[in-house]
Chain A
């Protein structure tokens, strides 16, 4: 009986905390510039974090909160703990589809390119992957993948895409191609049941096929990915990774496979006036 009470107590207090929201009386957001003095959130280790840091300047220590997962950052936004979340446009769109009361601010904060990351000096694999990448770009495979996810997936119909339909090229003669990713970044990568779907996953599957290797996915935290690839835990990392000069110092990149991916600010719809 005592335990039952204790359990009820804990659950109900959790629910109360979850359902309470904080009143925010400051004027509504109109432009991107206003964010310079607001509390912002980003996923740890992402370009969104770097952009937010630049925007906030000296105040970043006080105003920026970084979270391990996007879901946590969005939850903080909805609870009023932060005023905006800086993130990539496509995943932001998926949040808007599935979560009520969110909006994306009109002007993008920056445009970035995505590429696959490798251990510094792993020339052989970079060249092989670049060749495969060029081939799947040329024969339309990559475009078909993009259309599938930007269309069906972002329109909210995700159940038609099944992980078991993706060919991981099991038992390939060339050995394994171990790819590190952070599978909480739909439409690029997402864990479904005991498998994975997403643009990056299908693209890596196509590349693995070209290289005659079996694709193996290692699902890690985003900020652990650079460490994993530089210590050779994985062959390459593919997680919607933005190419930056700083990252280039510690990592080699493939050719870009997404050009002009926007970084946007996600805000609460009732806190935003266009």
Chain B
């Protein structure tokens, strides 16, 4: 994984960059051809931009939406990691001979149900069936729970993959040194596994960030919904949506950048 990311980091334009540039230029030409760069079109664009984002501080709707999106994503991330870690340890431990068949069955069922149904349906069930009578509870907490538990199922599989990628010899060596199964797991296996799964975990959270865009269904004004609210206000269709897309993209690009940095940092001092 490290090798690959180093390669793609080489400076200078590759063949792909040039192709991308040419396609970009072609698209710009098409825009020019469709009259987008004329003075009137530009003035119209500016007028709509003012209406959508500047007038009456409407950009604040996007800011508030972004806050909700970030709040839900971070909350769900915490729940996802905790749930995922517990589930994966249960499954690995059972496989490694710890007698916990019931817990293992539960973990298996949990993962297959939560991965086998759409997040949207789960969100609706959490809000309208399970928490039907919870009226004074902030809906965002319900969303955090729904997204977090859903994410936990995916994170569990990521962790399991990470744990199983550690050479069995490590566990055997730790056990033969007199450590219990639990301590070997906690002090020897998990630290190494964690390092392997960090990039995949980050990808899961990037996916989670985008997934929260369905929260509008249970009445949360997240970033996507904020864009739709502006649409309803100004009756302008494209700009609010494109703006929302740009904001998501900036966050995702930033997070991706962080993963790369983290990957490089984690691979320091790693042998082989």
Asked if A and B bind, the verdict is yes
Chain A contacts to B: CB under 8 angstroms? 1-3, 5-16, 18-20, 69-72, 74-75, 78, 94-95, 98-99, 159, 176, 178, 180, 183-186, 190-194, 218-221, 224, 227-228, 231-233
Closest Cβ of chain A: how far from B3's Cβ, in Å? 20
Partner of B238, one of A10, A18, A227: A18
Chain A residue at smallest Cβ distance from B230: A191
Q: Is B177 an interface residue (CB 8 A)?
A: no
How many pairs of A and B residues are in contact by the CB < 8 Å rule? Answer: 126
- B17-54 residues with Cβ-Cβ distance < 8 A to A are 17, 20-21, 23-24, 27-28, 30-31, 34, 36
Q: Which of A3, A18, A193 has the most CB of B within 10 A?
A: A193
Residues of A within 8 Å of B176, CB to CB, are none
Q: Do A224 and B217 form a contact, CB below 8 Å, given A7-B249, A183-B229, A233-B132?
A: yes
Residues of A within 8 Å of B253, CB to CB, are 3
Partner of A75, one of B31, B58, B233, B237: B237
Q: Do A194 and B249 form a contact, CB below 8 Å, given A16-B30, A69-B231, A232-B135?
A: no
Once bound together, how far apart are the Cα atoms of A176 and B136, in whole Å?
10
Does the CB pair A184–B232 fall under 8 Å? yes
Residues of B within 8 Å of A19, CB to CB, are 34, 36
Once bound together, how far apart are the Cα atoms of A224 and B217, in whole Å?
7
Q: Is B57 an interface residue (CB 8 A)?
A: yes
Residues of A within 8 Å of B128, CB to CB, are 224, 227-228, 231, 233
Once bound together, how far apart are the Cα atoms of A231 and B64, in whole Å?
28
Once bound together, how far apart are the Cα atoms of A14 and B28, in whole Å?
11
Does the CB pair B34–A231 fall under 8 Å? no
Once bound together, how far apart are the Cα atoms of A178 and B136, in whole Å?
10
Residues of A within 8 Å of B124, CB to CB, are 224, 227
Does the CB pair B219–A9 fall under 8 Å? no
Partner of A14, one of B127, B132, B242: B242
**A3-B253, A16-B34 known, 5 other contacts, Cβ within 8 Å:** A2-B16, A18-B242, A72-B237, A184-B231, A228-B128
Does the CB pair B232–A69 fall under 8 Å? yes
Once bound together, how far apart are the Cα atoms of A70 and B233, in whole Å?
11
Q: Is B173 an interface residue (CB 8 A)?
A: no
Q: Is B56 an interface residue (CB 8 A)?
A: yes
Residues of A within 8 Å of B56, CB to CB, are 159, 192-193
Once bound together, how far apart are the Cα atoms of A11 and B241, in whole Å?
11
Once bound together, how far apart are the Cα atoms of A112 and B56, in whole Å?
35
- The bracket for how many chain B residues form the interface is 35 or more
Chain B residue at smallest Cβ distance from A15: B31
Does the CB pair A190–B28 fall under 8 Å? no
Does the CB pair A190–B232 fall under 8 Å? yes
Chain B residue at smallest Cβ distance from A14: B242
Binary A-proximity of B45-82 (CB < 8 A = 1, otherwise 0): 00000000000111011001000000000000000000
Partner of B221, one of A8, A69, A219, A233: A219
Once bound together, how far apart are the Cα atoms of A192 and B229, in whole Å?
8
Does the CB pair B232–A16 fall under 8 Å? no
Q: Do A14 and B219 form a contact, CB below 8 Å, given A233-B127, A233-B128?
A: no
Once bound together, how far apart are the Cα atoms of A1 and B17, in whole Å?
9
Partner of B228, one of A8, A71, A224: A71
Does the CB pair A221–B24 fall under 8 Å? no
Once bound together, how far apart are the Cα atoms of A98 and B27, in whole Å?
30
Once bound together, how far apart are the Cα atoms of A232 and B136, in whole Å?
12
Once bound together, how far apart are the Cα atoms of A5 and B61, in whole Å?
29
Does the CB pair B17–A184 fall under 8 Å? no
8 sampled A-B residue pairs with Cβ under 8 A: A9-B20, A13-B27, A15-B36, A16-B30, A71-B232, A193-B61, A221-B217, A228-B219
Q: Is B2 an interface residue (CB 8 A)?
A: no
Does the CB pair A184–B219 fall under 8 Å? no
